[in-house]
Amino acid sequence: MTEAPARDGLPKGFRSAELGWPELDRIPHPPHRIPLLGDVVGVNRRTPLQDSLRYARDLGPVFRRKAFGKEFVFVWGARHAADLADESRFAKHVGLGIANLRPVAGDGLFTAYNHEPNWQLAHDVLAPGFSREAMAGYHPMMLAVARRLTEHWDRAAATGRAVDVPGDMTKLTLETIARTGFGHDFGSFERSRPHPFVTAMVGTLTYAQRLNSVPFPLAPLLLRSASRRNAADIAYLNRTVDELVRARRTAGSGDGDLLDRMLETAHPGTGERLEPRNVRRQVITFLVAGHETTSGALSFALHYLSRHPEVAARARAEVDRVWGDAAEPAYEQVARLRYVRRVLDESLRLWPTAPAFAREAREDTVLAGEHPMRRGAWALVLTPMLHRDPEVWGADAERFDPDRFEAQAVRSRAPHTFKPFGTGARACIGRQFALHEATLVLGLLLRRYELRPDPAYRLRVTERLTLMPEELRLHPERRTPVREPASDLRCPVPGAGD
């Protein structure tokens, strides 16, 4: 899939690496490359990211792969990733996987090209929706959705049943972003099967990834039935969001939530407003991105907590100490769960649920003083490998250890070595929302349950552009928490960077 250059001359969509890397031959690639097909020996089309991680370990911090005539350059060395984070020389690149989502998300915040004006307009209009004041307003709604989760888990605990962790975290995060952002209730916990919105969303993500694994000229033939299903999925997503927006326009204000901002707020500088089609695209972007990645992060964190009882005990003790006898935590109390937050960060280090981001050169440059790049050349940063670089994280980088995120350890590391939310001006606008929600939910579950794993389970990772543990089941057991005086409740709330 090749698109014409944008108005400012920068390329859009896919551009094969040989067009932008003058010394491409210096960059290693896997052995056994096959003419026309490329580096396909031993790969699995369902796990392209994990295949790339395997190659990365053998080929080093900069390498390339070729599939069906498309050449990609991958980067994971900390020094190279830090260079790509330089906003004066590099910008976000809407790579092939993201470009494949444009039929549904268009010029939404995540999928917009850099030259498209709606990105900056939407960012400036919506950024106040993630301020500290706005976040405090979302907190009671997050608690209300979490109660529905714990009611479901209480029933499972009472009967000794295991819970479907990824499925339940998906229900939780979908309802949270739908309630807080758009005043909508999908009724996920009242359903025995996933809501059709989730089914359609997973279908579009899976189809976008499949497009990367077939020769483009043959895609209409090989993916004919999948293409029809994808069109139906997109149509369903559009209808759902159009009905949601229509209901809001009929009912009036939603107390200043994200949808209100999209419909009623003008840009503070220009007076521009989001056009109706862009509102639809932004709503879909937030509903999909706002729950898919957070549900994965929670699922991986719960997996590691269940496998590391000493970590779970330490995190649980912190929850009991900080939250004390409060029936439910106040907004300010969530930020004081510093160790729980470390558990979440360490889970995101090992399995960042958005596992890559692409960067393109603004002008001709040299990457890390080693590899020349022409203007518009791009590279894909493999975040799980960046987070495993032994020069940064040590020889035990594969080991789960939340103390890697103790404050002094964080200060001692070079910048740009931990990037679960991307980098630069186009980094995830909702990252503080996601972190507050996930820390809150982990705290609530730790205080209420012991988490018993299936001893036979071995972590398997499903890829659908985002990452998720496959078939993860846990047995929640109700506990009687130890209550301690909440003596530190009047301490200052730490800043976002603490």
Q: Which residues are catalytic?
A: 293, 421, 428
Residue 205 φ then ψ, to 5°: -65, -45
Q: Which residues lie across from 356 on neighbouring strands?
A: 382
Number of Cβ within 10 Å of residue 324's Cβ equals 17
CB 211 within 8 A of CB 100: yes
Whether the CB-CB separation of 226 and 210 falls below 8 Å is answered with yes
Phi then psi dihedrals of residue 400, to 5 deg: -80, 115
Instruction: Write phi, then psi, for 475 (nearest 5 degrees).
Output: -105, 105
What is the Cα–Cα distance from 173 to 434, expressed in whole angstroms?
A: 9
Distances (CA, A) of 87 to 84, 128, 255: 8, 23, 36
Whether 435 and 429 have beta carbons less than 8 Å apart is answered as no
The span from the CA of 126 to the CA of 179, in Å, is 16
**C-beta atoms surrounding 1 within 10 Å:** 12
CB 110 within 8 A of CB 285: yes
Spell out the residues 6+ positions from residue 61 whose beta carbon is closer than 8 angstroms to its own.
75, 76, 77, 79, 80, 389
SS3 labels along 353-402 = CCCEEEEEECCCEEECCCEEECCCCEEEEEHHHHCCCHHHHCCCCCCCCH
Q: How far apart are CA 169 and CA 149, in angstroms?
A: 8
Backbone angles phi, psi at 160, to 5 degrees: 75, 15
